[in-house]
């Protein structure tokens, strides 16, 4: 059974269970709340990090990634 409230270790707030994503097939709540997850994603995006694509295939925004996931702009 999932808890009704949980403390987010990143922001320190006690939030209802609906403020957290579900992990492991819906059996438990994620560590960080959704707001902290989104803020982390935006900070990484602003810093220039992109999703890793280990296959090296073309990704949605029209470029490629190398073996370690860095975006390669082909013009």
Note the pLDDT tens digit of each residue in 2-34: 889 999 999 999 999 999 999 988 889 999 999
List CB contacts of 70: < 8 A, sequence separation 6 or more. Answer: 50
Range of 53's domain? 5-72
Residue pair 34/19 in contact (Cβ under 8 Å)? The answer is yes
The count of structural domains within the chain is: 1
What average pLDDT does the segment 41-58 reach? 73
Note the pTM of the prediction, 2 decimals: 0.61
* Average pLDDT value for the chain: 80
């Amino acid at each position: 059974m999932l808890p009704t409230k949980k403390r987010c270790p990143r922001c320190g707030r006690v939030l209802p269970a609906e403020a957290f994503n579900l992990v492991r097939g819906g059996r438990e709540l994620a560590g960080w709340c959704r707001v902290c997850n989104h803020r982390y994603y935006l900070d990484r995006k602003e810093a220039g990090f992109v999703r890793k694509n280990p296959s090296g295939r073309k990704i949605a925004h029209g470029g490629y990634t190398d073996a370690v996931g860095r975006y390669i702009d082909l013009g």
